[in-house]
Structure formats: structure tokens, C-alpha cells
Amino acid sequence: MDNKNGSVKSIFRDLRERTKELDCLYKIEALLNEKHTSSLSGLFKRVIKVIPGGFLYPDDCCGRIIYKGEVISLKDNPKTPWCLEAPISIYGKILGKIEVFYRKRHDEMGSNPFLKQEKQLLKTIGERLAHAIFQFEYQKALTEAEALNGDAKSVIRKEWVIIVDLLKNTDQKLYSRIARKLANYLVWSGHKKAGELIQSFSRNEILLIQDADMNQPLQKRTLTGMVEIAATVFSLADDILTDDEILICVKKWIQEEKAADIVQVLGKYDSTMSEIVEAVTRYHFISSNDGFKLSDHTDMGLRVSMIRHFFFEQLDFINIAKNFIDIEDFFGLVQKIIYPMGSHGKLGGKSAGLFLAYNILVKSDQAEKLYSTLKMPKTWYVSSDGLPTFIHYNNLEDVTEQKYKEIDQVRMEYPQIIQLFKNSYFPPDILRGLSLALDDIGEKPIIVRSSSLLEDRLGTSFSGKYKSLFLANQGSRQERLEALTDAIAEVYASTFGPDPIEYRAERGLLDFYEEMGILIQEVVGHKAGPYFLPTYAGVAFSNNEFRWSPRIHRNDGLIRMVPGLGTRAVDRTSSDYPVLIAPGKPALKVNITPDDTARYAPQKLDVINMKTNQFETIDIQDFIKEYGRELPGINTVMSTYERNMLRPITAMTDFQKEDLVVSFDGLRERTNFITLLYSILNTLKEKIGTPVDIEFASDGKHFYLLQCRPQSYSSGTKGSVIPKNIPTDKVIFSANKYVTNGLIPPISHIVYVDPEGYNSLTTIDDMKAVGRAVAKLNKVLPKRQFILIGPGRWGSRGDIKLGVSVTYSDFNNTAALIEVALKKGKYVPELSFGTHFFQDLVEANIRYLPLYPDDEGVDFNWSFLKNSKNILKDIVPEYEYLSHTLRIIDVPASTQGQFLRILTNADQDQAVGFLGTGVESGDHIDEETDILDSPLEDHWRWRMSMALKIARQSAEKTKGIEAVYIFGSTKNRTAVPSSDINLLIHFRGDPIQRRELELWLDGWSLCLAEINYLRTGIKKPEGLLDVHIISDQDIAKGNSYAMKIDAVTDPAEKLSLN
Amino acid sequence: MAGDKSFNAFEMAQTQFDKVADYLDLDSATRELLRECFREYHFSVPVKMDDGSVKVFRGFRCQHNDALGPCKGGIRFHPQETIDTVRALSMWMTWKTAVVNIPLGGGKGGIICDPHNLSDNEQERLCRGWVRQLAKNVGPLNDVPAPDVMSSAQHMLWMLDEFETIHGAKYPGFITGKPVGMGGSLGRKEATGYGLIYTVREALKELGIRPEDTVASLQGFGNVAQFAIRLYTQMGGKVICVSCWDQEDQCSYAFRKSSGINMDELMKITNRFGGIDKEKAAEIGYEVLPGDAWIEQEVDILMPCALENQINADNVNRIKDCVKMIAEGANGPTTPEADKVIEEKGIFVVPDFLANAGGVTCSYFEQVQCNMNYYWEKDEVLSRLDTKMTAAFIAVSELAKKHKIYMRDAAYVIAINRVAQACKDRGWV
């Protein structure tokens, strides 16, 4: 710890020095920018006065400038051995130098008393001085010319001639290069004589080269020769071109030459981050001082190479980004990059997406009108090679061996790796940068997010594999810095977690994994009581894949938002709901009655507790009662709720007594938020050329963009390719309207309620019994592997005749809910679109599909649904009497092992359900692009191997385990990212053993869920294992799960325990 | 569809009526009158949509009978409404108002639409359009609408405003279900739960049991159950078990404390929808049992206050022998099969029809207060509710005793008899 304290102290000292250096630089900049500088020596003296302030021992420090042989200093200080100098050169020609020296020796600094940074400082001052000298001389020449113009007798000197003369005197190389360009220009304009001049340039150059080859000093005549030819070119041009034309050309070429070294650094493939940052900074100064402008092609070339350096190599990204990101934009960016010495790192995908999106928006034609409230939170970036540098600095190279270990071992060692990383040190360069970042952000909470390089390729999804850590960022400077480094260490450690390794190994990306960018972002929001939170936050999608009304189109988009931190909107939770809005049709609400609005309103709030420095989930009601008034914009979030009526919050609203619910009605009705967000989605979609998903937050006043990526990255929203050649007899149904994208796993069981059969039921009790039977089937059929197909509106509230009466819990294990609209005379009934339990479906990712069998061009295989074997009586014998209405089809049993595959493609507005094997070739647009799209093989194989492992280990560990069975999607080889692993354990042990077993399994379950999350981005906070422990008695009685053993349909499979 | 044997709600309501008519030996004219709706309005409501197009919606209003007073009944927004459903519901409203002996008839109406497809502005134009078509045929003196499926207080206020604009005066009694301060009545939240306990109290009197000697178990912990428990415990009764839905687990749990539940401590850990936090409940000493455990408790009174069909053939036999009474706070909580078993067991039943009539009675009070433009304090509303419910219970139970019929049948008989008598008195039949 002492060691750590020491290092922190040294950081503070370093920081103090950097501040002094910057301060000095700013002062000098101010001097150089002063108008009406009458003499150079006066300027030099003022500069010398300022310089000592930037050095470690200012009282003992003095400086002098030597320019064209003249020495300028404040006092007659003799030069000492402790001296530092930097040249003053214009276009390579050294005109003088600047010196700084200490009057006495400073032993504590050793033989060289100057810091590395001080050397850099002096070099920069020299460069700035040279620039100022050039400006001064140029102005002087101009003034002289003007004075001469005033004299009628003198020859009028043209402006371009003055410039060219100045060049001739200061920089002959540049002079001849400009002449050469002018000659080229003349040739292009059709002047033959210029061609001859070019040839003489070339001859002279050859001579130069030959001279150089001979390894002898340059012959003077050569350069003079060049100068002479140049003079001929200028005089020729004077005859042919107008003065203005020549002036424009000469000025442009001079500017291009000025940028030459910047171009060189940026164009070089292996320039380091610090070289690039320096070049960009220099560019910023040059361009802001002189109204400087690069030619369009050079400008574009530089943009492209910078995008390449900081972000991506991929052409598709560059092609878009280069049109929206200016070189000047990078100046803002480079100030906030933290990188190790000699870094060649990049910033990662998350940073790139955000930076691009923000620049697209602020440069769009809507920017002024609509986006005046748009902001990007203060963001700092740690370059991707921060991680390898960290590993190297702490001698942690061994950790890279993790990737060769067995996944179990990786899992077991992972917690130790986190601790190891947290107890390691950061290299001083990085620490300094982090410290600056903390200064810039101040004592506001921050979020540390990973920004993976694997997102680089457009089309690679790494969703869910990010780690984001919130920090309250409170306390002393040292505490804050420690908390930040701890968090970064944890994010770094996460690359060595079990699954990223497995994921990368599968894709041959193991060599990449050590690199990962980090984003340090200020959390948007306000303090309210002890908490810190944004007024609201959420995610928004260009394409709406969950539509609750046929009037809502796919491109109307979808917003999922909550009050407080957006974490609750990003993740799906079973017990809470975000508010859903289609920004293109904001008036069409998901919930119609105030009671439903209240029921499906968010009930919890994610916040940062500034007292405990913790991320917390709290109850909205408690928060509002206590601190609601302190939150800006609360009246746009909440409404009062009384007797089935929602009303806006007013100044009279009593937060303590009244019932308030989250409705966002205020935001919808009284602000331009929805228009803004819709426009953002549309602009980004148009410019990036693909639907996007964004994360946002608001402090009640401004709209902050937090993230932007193509929507296809988010899980499961990509359309499937609908195969054209499915044999007609294999098609069970098809649809050509109201289709939304979403992955549906292979289906082993169809629960089909026959429309005619249902219509012919004569008593209300029979109709209700259909609903009860469905509820029972929901409990016994394999989870997410069966679908419900039924007439009209499932869960119809008004009239049981119109659809089977069920509530959400009666079918919450289905994979999809399908409603069939059959024509009645000329009238096609309206379907429900699942609105009765819409938000439940969304949160559970249960897909909804409406079918219209009477429409042209669609199929509905009545014969298969009506004639396949009905296994209703085998599963729920008590409902056998409903057999003519309710049919359960075991698809593999009825079709020799095939499954019902349902593919949807919203772009084409088409869906098809057909019989096929586990995986069809047409399943996915691009198998490589998304782990969700990776062959289904992956998911069941991984689950099966885990199941086998668990079975074996549990049998070794616990006495009394008779057998372990697997059933459901893993057994059927149809598991998808969200599938559970269903296990049946036949157990004969005592209650204590059972309790131990359950605890042990719970641990596994949570752990597998975490691995699955990292693999796929699908969160299953309840765990991944679905374990049913059954006794002899259960088996004897054939209780529900015991029934699975030797079941008629989909029997459980015994796992080997050896 | 001729010869269609499929289920039809109106036919079911008619069959139910026919049985009672037989029992009462009603004459054929009375039967004919009461088997059908007195008046029906079918009309179109053109609505300008937000995009400038016009959509035409179908509207209905059925006035089944107004012999006892102005019709009363909800307005439903439903995309596939059928006229037979509306007819059946309006007939049930006639019986429902009659059983508590309030001077109202039965009506029901609706619009075929799915509000999910309509913006708020479009819904407002639809509501106003509905009233414009019916303004002459509804009103505080002839037919009083109320919220129903997918319609809310806001819809009622739009309709009221249109009605008052057309008639050029204030008629807050035109519609019920309004917020307090806009013509709504205090005591509405308490009405159904309190009404239930008023009938329980009277029933206990009948059975000669003191409330303070009784123990009860309830299904549901929503509005009805919460106020029922409060009043019941005030009377001295002890609730040892309640069950409620757990949104997270998608199933229900029963919470038991044999020393009696404490409403104040439970309310602190209950969300707005009546969901009790099971972890916290366990912490404060409640046993957390499977949801259906509420029915098998050793108690005197069971009160199902959640959904329909909760006491059914599967679980009716788990009711303990010590149970003396079932008071139905929910609508249709008992299936016909279970009802037979309960009748055989001799358990006293306060049927839903009567037991949860506190709600409709309070709507009636809302209308009364509106018509006189003077609003009562909550205490007054609740004490008048007590009077009404008590009288209604005594009438039904006396009839049941006198005629030796089951309470559920007695409630129907008394309601239909009252309406038939009024038709006769008016000289209609």
C-alpha cells in the first residue's frame, strides 16, 4: 500500500508539472497571437520572460533566443552546462535557436536536470516561434510592398512576387518545389514551353541524386541551377497567367507544404499514437490561426487515415465515416485519449459508433432546429493496447495461458484473476491520463465500459460481452483514482473470463483478445437525495420488431425507456416493464386504460447511491415520495393516477400522498422528445445506411447520445432468409403481412385450437376448459419448444367466443403465439396482436404472428393440423373430451423426426412455418455475423457437455442420486441462446443431502447463466438450469415431471454418470 | 347461422331467465318482454382520423329494461363485439340492479374498435361521435352509461362533455365512473369490499355466530380483499390466510399467520396491484405456501376475491368441514360442479351477484349525488351502502329460507320478480 501511496504522490507531482507546462504554453501562444508586434526582438524578450514558469525550478531558470546570429536575453546570464536547446527553423532551414539553462546544478535530478516533457515543451515553443517569425516577415514584406505602391515612380511589386521572393530568401527548397508545381500547372494548361522547363528540373534532380550517390558534398551550382530554372518558371507564368491566378496557386501550395509533415505522420502506417496526437494538435493550431484550408483530396486522405488509426480498417466503415468526421473533430478526440508510450492502439467499436453517430447528427441539416439539446457525455478513451501494456508492466504474461486451459479450470480461476488484476499497478502514463480524466469529469459518477476491437468489423456482434461498471466517483482524489483503476482492472480481467476465451477460440480470434479499449464516460443525470440518476434513459431501434397495432409500421421504430439509469431498459426483466413507444406513431399506445398503464409501468429504478458508492435498484414509489420534486423534468415522466384516470403532474401535486405512475405522457405530449428521437433514428439510418440501435439518457434538459450501433448487432432482430424451394407438402403455414423479425427455436409440439371445433363448443364451461387445458399443457410441454395456434384473439377479455380465455401465465412457456383470422362472410376479424399481454410477450421474447389463411398467396396446411395424431389424451387425459377442438401434435413423432421451423423476415414481410431438420441452410443471412446466428449446434452441444459434466460431478459429490435425465431443447438438439438446460434428478437421499444438492446446483445454474450471457448476450438472472428433483414416489405416481421418464412424447434421456 | 349450436351468451342468459320464470310462473307476455331487450340502437360513428382519412365505426346501445328506473350499464370498446354479448350483459345488469333493490334498469353498449389502433385524439372523437348519435336516447333520466372493457374515466368525461354541450346544460348524472371532483363519488374504492363484509355480517347473524369468534381465509389481495379484510377485522374477525399473484414467478402464493394477519404490516410490503413481497413476508413471520393453500385452511369463512372459476371440481373437496360460509367477492368464482358439492355440504353461500353488488350500488350513489349536485362525505356513502346491502341480503336470505331454495337461486328469483312486478304495475303486461 505504501508503494501505491508513493506512486500516487509522484503522480500528483507530475500532474503539477504538466499544469505548469500547459500554462506556459498558453501564455506564449497568447503573446504570439498579439496583433501589432513591432519588432521581433521585443517579442522574443516577452517570450523569454514567460519560459521559466514552465520548468521544474523556475526561480533558477533563464532563457535566451539566438536569431540570425543575434542573441536576445533578459540579463547577461552566462551559459551553464545545465542547458537545453531547441532549433527555430522554417521549412527545414535553421534560422536560430532557443536555449534554457539552470544557473546552478540540481543534484536531485542527476546529470540531466531536464524532464522529458520539458524537452518537448521547448521544442514546441521553438516551432511556434518559427511560425510567428514567418508571419512577421511576411507581413513586413507586404507592408513594404504597399509602401512602394504608394510611390508612383517605383515599379509595382505584385503580392505573389513578394511571397515568392520571401520564399527564395528563407527556403529555397520550398521555392523550387512551388516553381515545379507551377510548371506542372502550366503544362496542364497547355503551354509547351513549360514542358521544357520541367525537363530541366528533372535533369537537375538527377544530378542531385548522382551527386548524393557519389557520397560527396553537394555542388553549389546544382541548387543555384534549380533556383534559376525556378525564376524562369515564375517569369513565364507572369506572362501567361493572371496575377490572381498565380497568387491563389502559390498560397494553396504553400499551405499544402505546411501540412506535409502532418500528412506524412498520419499517412504512415506505423505512426505511434503520440505522433498522431501531436500531428493533429499541430494541425489544429495551424488551421485555426491562418484560415488555413487543405485541398479537398488531401483533406479526405487525412480523414481516412485518421479514421484508420483511431477506429477501423474496414472500408465500409471508412466510406461512411469519412464524410462526417473532420480532421478538426479529431482534435477534440485526441485531447481525451489515454495511451501508453509508443502506443499503436485503437479506441474500439463502441467509441467509434458513438463518435460517428454524434458527428453525423451535429452536422445534419436538422442540427440547428432539432438537435440543439443533443449532447455527448464527457468521454475519455483508453487505447486498446492499454491492456497488453498493463499485463506486461505487472509481469502477468502467464495469464495469457488461460486460453489453453479447460473451460472448467478457466471458470474456477477467473475470480482469482480478477483479484490479481485488481492488485496490480497501472503504468504511470496511463495513471496520469486517468487522473486528468477524473479532473475533467469532476466528482460526477462515471461508467467504465469496454470497447472491444472485435466489434471492428461491421457485422460482427459482440453484444452482451461488454462489461460496464458504474462508479459513484466520490471521495478524495486518491480514492477516486483507486476506484477507477480497480474498475478498469476488472474490465481487463473480464477478457480472461471463461467465455470470451471460448468464443474467440471458436472463431480463431485468440490472438486478438489481449486488446480492448476502455470508455470512461460521465454518467448523465442529477443528484436527488443520496442518489444520482438521469431523469430518464433507454434504447431506441430504427426497426420496430414488436408492433402492437397494424397501423404501426416497421420503420416507425421502437423506444424502450425507463426513469433512472437505462440498465433497466436495455435488459429484459420478468418482473418489471419499460415504457414502449413507437416514435413514428407516438399516439398509438401499448396500454389503453390507465389501469393497464399503471400495471405495465416501471416499478423499480436503477440509481447510483452517492453515500454508499453503490449501484442500486430502488422502488420508484419510495423514491418519488421522498425526492421526486428534486428530479428535473419529473413532470414529463410521471402522471398522477386516480380512479382509472391519468393526469399531468402540476405544482399542486402532492408527491407524498398522491399515487404517481410512470407514463411518459408529459414527454410524449408536451415536449419534442419523440420527434427528436425519431429524427435521430432516421438520420442515422439514412447516413449509416442500415437500421441502428442507440442508447440515450437525459438529465431532464439535454438529450445525451450514449451509444450507436447497427441494429443487426442486437440479438435476434435479423431477418431469416426464407427459402424459396420448400416442398409444398412441408409447409404448415405462411404469412405475408404484419411479420416481425425474431428467432423462434425449432418446434417439437404444436398446440392447435381448431377454429371450427372451438366455434362448435356449446357451453361456456367447455370454452373455459380449453383455456385450462392450455394452461396445463404449458406446464408439461417442453419450454419454448411448443407453439400455440388458435382462432381469433388469445386471452380475449370481452367475449370468450372470440378467442381462448387464457392469461399470460397460462402460456408463458410457449415459443410463439399465433392467431388465425378466418373470414366470416366478407368480414375478416381483427386480431389482437397480443395486446392483452403485449409487454409480457416482449419481455419474455415470445413471438407473435397473425395468420390469414383466406388471403391469396399464403398457405395453411389444414390437413396436417387436423389429421396428425392428437396426443392430447396421453398428456392431459382429463381433457380428452376436447379432442375435436384441442389438438396436440408431436411434430417429430408425426413426421419421422422433423421439427417445425418458423422463419420470419420483416423486410420481405414474409414468414413460413415448415417441416425440417434441426438446422436449415436458409436459416440465417450470414452465419458468421452473429453468435445468435451461429449454428444451433453450438447451443445444444455446449449445453449437453455441461449437463454431462454436472451429472457426473453431482453423482460423485452427493449420495442418493439414482439417475440424471435430460429433456427439452438440449436433448432435442434444438437449444437456442435463451434455452434452459432441463434436468430431472431421481433422488433417494435425505433432506440435508437434498438441500446441499440444490445449493450446489444453484451455483452451477447462475454460473452457466453468466457464461451464456457472455456467449450470447441473453440474460437469465434466474439461472440456466431447470432442475426437477423427483422421488421414487413421484415416479410411482407419475407426477408431472416424473412423467417425462418413458413419456409417450418427448421422453427424458438418461445421462451417463460415469 | 341457423341451427348453430355454438355457445351464445344471450341464449345462455335467456335460458337462465327461463328457469326462474318457470319457478315464478310468469305469464307469457312478461316472459316475452323480459327475454328480449326493450330497445336497441345500432348506428354508425364516422371518425376523422389523425391522417385525415375517415373511418366508420359501429356503435350499439341495448336497453334491456327500465321498468324500475333509468337503464344503467357500461360502454365497451371491443374489436369483435357481437350484439348478442351486449344483449346478454344488459339483461344481467337489469337483474344486478334489481337484486340490491336500487331504482335502475339494465343497459349495455359499445363500439366495435380496438383502442390500441387509435390515438387519444381519435378516441376522443369516437367517444363524442357515439354520444352525438345517442344524445336523445340516453341521459340521467333514461340511460346512464359507465366505463367497461377498455374504456376509462377519461372516455366518460369526453362523453359527458359532449352530452352537456348538446343539451346546453350540466348533467353530471349522465354518466358514472368519474373521478372525484368531476362528479365522482367518495367511497368507491371501499364499496365492493365493504359491501361484501356487510353481507357476511348479516349472514353470520343468521347463522348465530359472533364475528369475533370467526376466522377467515381469502383468495386475492386487491382492492376488494384489502377493504374486506379491514372491515372484517374491525368487526373482530381474524384473517389467517390470504393468497395473491406473484408477477415475477407467474404464480400465486398464500401467506399464512395463524395469529391473524396484520394489514398495516402487510400493506407496507404490498405493491399497487396487491402483490405481496414473499421474501419480506417470510421475514416478518408469514408462512409462504402454494397459492391454492387458501382453500384448505381450517376456517369458518372463505372469501374468493380474485378471479372466476377458482373453486372448481379439482379443489372443492379440499374445503375443510369447519367452513361454514363462502362469500363470493369475485365474479363467478365457483364452477357449477363445485357449486353442487358446496350445496350438498350445506355451506352457506353469499352469491357473487349479491355479495359484490357494493360496486353498482356506489355507482348509483354517484348518480344520485350528481343529480342533486351535492356530494356526500365518505362516511355517509358507506353508511348508506350498509343500509342498501343489509336490506338486500335480508330480502334474499328470507326468500331462500321461506322457499327453501339455495341462496344463489333466491337472488335471481328476487331480482326477476321485482322487475316483472314493476312491468305489471306499470300496466305493460
- Tell me which of 1.10.10.10, 3.40.50.10860, 3.30.70.1060, 3.30.930.10 is the CATH number of domain B39-97+104-174: 3.40.50.10860
The mean pLDDT value for B218-238 works out to 95
| Amino acid A614: pLDDT | 87
| Amino acid A928: pLDDT | 32
| Amino acid B6: pLDDT | 65
**Closest to B327 in 3D by CA, of B236, B256, B411:** B411
A644 and B177 in contact by Cβ < 8 A? Answer: yes
A367: closest CA of chain B, how far (Å): 27
For residue A578, give every residue at least 6 positions away whose Cβ sits within 8 Å of its Cβ, in sequence order, or none. Answer: A538, A560, A561, A562, A568, A569, A602
A471: closest CA of chain B, how far (Å): 29
Q: Is A598 on the interface with B (CB under 8 A)?
A: yes
Give A922 or B405, the one with higher predicted confidence.
B405
| Amino acid A11: pLDDT | 74
Q: Which residues of B are catalytic?
A: 108
Q: What percent of chain B has pLDDT over 70?
A: 98
Give A490 or B167, the one with higher predicted confidence.
B167
What is the separation of C-alpha B280 from the centre of its chain, rounded to a whole number of angstroms?
33
Q: pLDDT band at B232, cuts 50/70/90? A: very high
A452: closest CA of chain B, how far (Å): 34
Tens of pLDDT, residues A637-679:
999 998 788 999 988 899 988 999 999 999 998 999 999 999 9
Q: What are phi and psi of A720, to 5 degrees?
A: -90, 155
Q: What are phi and psi of A1056, to 5 degrees?
A: -75, 135
> Residue B326 pLDDT > 90, yes or no?
yes
A766 and B7 in contact by Cβ < 8 A? Answer: yes
**Among chain B residues, CA nearest to A809:** B250
Asked whether the beta carbons of A323 and A300 are under 8 A apart, the reply is no
Domain ranges of chain B: 39-97+104-174, 185-429
Question: Residue A921's CB: how many other CB atoms inside 10 A?
Answer: 9
Q: Which of residues 757-796 of A touch B (CB under 8 A)?
A: 759-768, 772, 792-793, 796
| Amino acid A457: pLDDT | 47
Please tell me whether residue B134 adopts helix, strand or coil conformation: helix
* Class of domain B185-429 as given by CATH: alpha beta
A643: closest CA of chain B, how far (Å): 6
Q: Do domains B39-97+104-174 and B185-429 have the same CATH topology?
A: yes
Q: Which of B6, B178, B179 sits opposite A761 (nearest CB)?
A: B6
Please tell me whether residue B95 adopts helix, strand or coil conformation: helix
| CA angle, A820 then A823 then A825, to 5° | 160
Question: Residue A619's CB: how many other CB atoms inside 10 A?
Answer: 12
Give A104 or B341, the one with higher predicted confidence.
B341
Q: Which of B87, B113, B114, B249 to mutate to test the interface with A (most CBs of A within 10 A)?
A: B114
Contacts of B179 in chain A (CB under 8 A): 642-643, 645
Asked whether the beta carbons of A827 and A854 are under 8 A apart, the reply is no
CA distance B90 to A309: 75
The mean pLDDT value for B102-120 works out to 92
pTM: 0.73
For residue A1033, give every residue at least 6 positions away whose Cβ sits within 8 Å of its Cβ, in sequence order, or none. Answer: none
- Rounded to 10°, the helix B358-372/B83-99 angle is 80
A-B CB pairs within 8 A amount to: 120
Domain ranges of chain A: 2-137, 158-258, 336-347+378-513, 527-709, 728-925, 936-1055
Low-confidence stretches of chain A (pLDDT beneath 70): 1-8, 35-37, 91-92, 109-111, 145-157, 202-224, 288-293, 403-409, 411, 454-467, 498-514, 572-575, 712-717, 796-798, 825-829, 836, 918-937, 1014-1018, 1039-1040
**Among chain A residues, CA nearest to B189:** A643
Please spell the DSSP secondary structure of A398-441, one letter per residue: GGGGGGGS-HHHHHHHHHHHHHHHHTS---HHHHHHHHHHHHHH
For residue B316, give every residue at least 6 positions away whose Cβ sits within 8 Å of its Cβ, in sequence order, or none. Answer: B337, B338, B341, B342
Q: Is A589 on the interface with B (CB under 8 A)?
A: yes
What's the burial of A373, exposed, middle or buried (CB within 10 Å: 0-12/13-18/19+)?
A: middle
From residue A568, give the alpha-carbon distance in Å to each of A141, A536, A572, A711. Answer: 67, 11, 7, 19
A872: closest CA of chain B, how far (Å): 19
**Among chain B residues, CA nearest to A619:** B271
Q: Which of A598, A799, A809 sits opposite B85 (nearest CB)?
A: A799
The three three-digit cell numbers of residue A196, written as one number: 521544357
> Residue B97 pLDDT > 60, yes or no?
yes
Q: Which of A645, A770, A806, A1020 to mutate to test the interface with B (most CBs of B within 10 A)?
A: A645
Asked whether the beta carbons of A773 and A876 are under 8 A apart, the reply is yes
| Amino acid A936: pLDDT | 53
Contacts of B9 in chain A (CB under 8 A): 764, 799, 801
From residue B340, give the alpha-carbon distance in Å to each of A488, A766, B313, B334, B349. Answer: 69, 18, 10, 10, 11
**Closest to B115 in 3D by CA, of A597, A118, A88, A873:** A597
According to CATH, what is the number of the domain A936-1055?
3.30.460
- CA quadruple A291, A294, A300, A302: dihedral positive or negative? negative
Please tell me whether residue A107 adopts helix, strand or coil conformation: helix
The DSSP bridge pattern shows strands A786-791 and A899-905 to be unpaired
| Amino acid A932: pLDDT | 35
- CA quadruple B419, B185, B114, A845: dihedral positive or negative? negative
Please tell me whether residue A750 adopts helix, strand or coil conformation: strand
ipTM beyond cut 0.85? no
Please spell the DSSP secondary structure of B145-173, one letter per residue: EEE-TT--HHHHHHHHHHHHHHHTS--GG
A799 and B114 in contact by Cβ < 8 A? Answer: no
According to CATH, what is the number of the domain A2-137?
3.30.450.40
